[in-house]
Structure 1
Amino acid sequence: MIGASRDALAAARESLTALTDSTSADPKVLADELAVVTALLDREVALRRVLADPSRSGERKAELVATVLGEQVGGATVDLVSGMVRSRWSAPRDLVDAAEELADTAELIAAERAGTLDETEDELFRFSRTVASAPELRTALTSEKAAPSAKVQLLHTLLGGKSREATERLITRLVAQPRGRSLEGGLEALSRLAAERRGRSVAVVTSAVPLSDQQRQRLGSALAKLYGRQMHLNLDVDPEILGGIRVRVGDEVINGSIADRLSEAERRLAG
């Protein structure tokens, strides 16, 4: 997000944090209700345009939120969304994206309260690796021909009782309401959001063989110094890189594999 939407999202995040820190609001209930809001705004184009229209009074838009949502969600969610529509948004779609992020964040707050945030973060990454290596599974979870209920049941079979509750709930919402995102992109966004909740960044580390505990600690310390913040390492093994490691932090890639050095040598020879 850019401009006004970025500021509005920051304010909404602060409101959610204050709500979950200072009241008895159940973050899992908030997550479910914000998911309902997201689905409604995603479906009703005219409504989201009205609620994000900067020419309309913030109070009038808040009144509309109370009228539309009052019987669908609780008071805490109505208050949260009312605050969001009082802010200025650069585009109506940004309001929907923000509601979705708050739903996911509320789920992660619930995991944090339960002491399972680290495990949830790791499970999200492992599931993304599973999807990447299983084309048939990816097709089953993303096919427009498959009923949403069948996808949810498949996820429950795969994750129910084998992963943390927050992990299953986050992935289920992503699959049931992809909103045009790829499954891989959605899982990566969830992993990043979980890392941000921990106040750290995610480094995806690919190596030819599994790293030892000492190697992981040294790499984590080196990356923390390089980026000036704590790093969470998501580890993947790919024998095709031959040796060394490849590190990706956001859009930045640090190549240190033999395969990359061979490719670079071939490019220089060809040139």
Structure 2
Amino acid sequence: MYAASREALTQTRAALSTALGSVSAGAGLAAAAQTGAELFSVVETLDDQRTLRSALSDNSTTGTARESLAEQVFDGKVSSATLAVLKVAAGQDWSSTSDLLNSLVLLGRESLLKAASDQNQLDAVEDELFRLGRIVAGNANLEQALSDRSVPAKSKRDLLSKLLYGKVTAVTEALANQAVGRLKSAPADAFDELANLAAAQRETVVAKVRSASALTAEQSDRLAATLTRTYGKPVTVHVEVDPELLSGLVVRVGDEVIDGSAAGRLAALRKSLT
């Protein structure tokens, strides 16, 4: 994302914060969830209407004209908070139309995560999204069904809703359904990205751990404490059991990998002998 779009996102995010902050405390939770859902719906509309999305990001027209167009199209169809965000977004100079759409998606996700935070569910949402990614990555048929470009987005969402119904929070389901309807990467990667965004909202670092066997709660807590001291900020540990490691752990934090597994040591030994 170029500088112009980064600045446009900053301004639009500020408008979102102001819009949600102006809502009374009792209605704030509903407003955040509603705004997130409505921003997703707006993006779906823009995805389907090339002329409209081009007009809203056309830097050859004035920002005021684009704001007026956004109000004309969406007034009465979304809440006042969402409309305020859309008008500010339309009035910015974006480097590309895709930057505008992707930023609206991001702000929709952040709104839903705020709703989760207000309900003290943010940690649960993060964990559910991580586990969903592992489920999809471990089921080739499900991954193929969700990533098949020939399958309508509605069919993918229906499939995912059946899988998730009654098993996850409403925010997790909304985020996951939006992601599969507009995939830019493999489904498991998309869910991991959402889990990382949830962690970022909690101002924590995510450690993805592969272990030869399941960790006890005490072991997981001890590992999290060690990594927290290492990285200087709270670390959330997500553990995936991988018997092929034989023993030990592989820890990934961002681009850094710490391989303490037997399989890793054997691979290093083989390399040293060649």
State how far apart, in whole Å, the 1-side matches of 2:116 and 2:103 are: 20
Q: Give the stretch that moved more between structures: 128-137 or 165-174.
A: 165-174
Q: 1:181 offset after TM fit, Å?
A: 3.0
State how far apart, in whole Å, the 1-side matches of 2:157 and 2:97 are: 29
Which amino acid counterpart does residue 243 of structure 2 have in structure 1? P
Q: 1:157 offset after TM fit, Å?
A: 2.1
Which amino acid counterpart does residue 78 of structure 2 have in structure 1? V
State how far apart, in whole Å, the 1-side matches of 2:139 and 2:123 are: 25
Identity value in percent: 35
Q: Give the stretch that moved more between structures: 232-241 or 105-114.
A: 105-114
SS in 2 for 1:247: strand
Q: 1:170 offset after TM fit, Å?
A: 1.3
Counterpart of 2:217 in structure 1 is: 213
TM value normalised by structure 2: 0.89
CA contact (8 A) 1:48 1:93 kept: no
State how far apart, in whole Å, the 1-side matches of 2:36 and 2:132 are: 21
Q: 1:147 offset after TM fit, Å?
A: 4.2
The one of 143, 147, 150 aligned to 1:138: 143
**2:22 aligned with 1:22:** yes
Q: 1:258 offset after TM fit, Å?
A: 1.8
Over 3 Å counting, the alpha-carbon distance change for 1:266 and 1:223 in structure 2 is same
**2:80 aligned with 1:101:** no
Q: What does 1:181-196 align with in structure 2 at a 5 Å threshold?
A: 181-196=185-200
Counterpart of 1:82 in structure 2 is: 87
State how far apart, in whole Å, the 1-side matches of 2:114 and 2:249 are: 33
Which amino acid counterpart does residue 174 of structure 2 have in structure 1? R
SS in 1 for 2:69: helix
Over 3 Å counting, the alpha-carbon distance change for 1:250 and 1:53 in structure 2 is farther
Report the aligned-residue RMSD: 2.0
SS in 2 for 1:72: coil
SS in 2 for 1:48: helix
State how far apart, in whole Å, the 1-side matches of 2:151 and 2:73 are: 31
Q: Give the stretch that moved more between structures: 56-65 or 92-101.
A: 56-65
State how far apart, in whole Å, the 2-side matches of 1:71 and 1:170 are: 24
Q: 1:95 offset after TM fit, Å?
A: 0.8
State how far apart, in whole Å, the 1-side matches of 2:12 and 2:145 are: 35
State how far apart, in whole Å, the 2-side matches of 1:50 and 1:120 are: 36
Structure 1 residues without counterparts, runs of 5 or longer: none
**2:181 aligned with 1:176:** yes
Over 3 Å counting, the alpha-carbon distance change for 1:120 and 1:207 in structure 2 is same
The one of 62, 65, 70 aligned to 1:65: 70
The one of 223, 244, 247 aligned to 1:243: 247
State how far apart, in whole Å, the 1-side matches of 2:229 and 2:22 are: 35
* Number of aligned residue pairs: 269
Which amino acid counterpart does residue 211 of structure 2 have in structure 1? S
Q: 1:71 offset after TM fit, Å?
A: 4.0
State how far apart, in whole Å, the 1-side matches of 2:185 and 2:39 are: 18
Counterpart of 2:265 in structure 1 is: 261
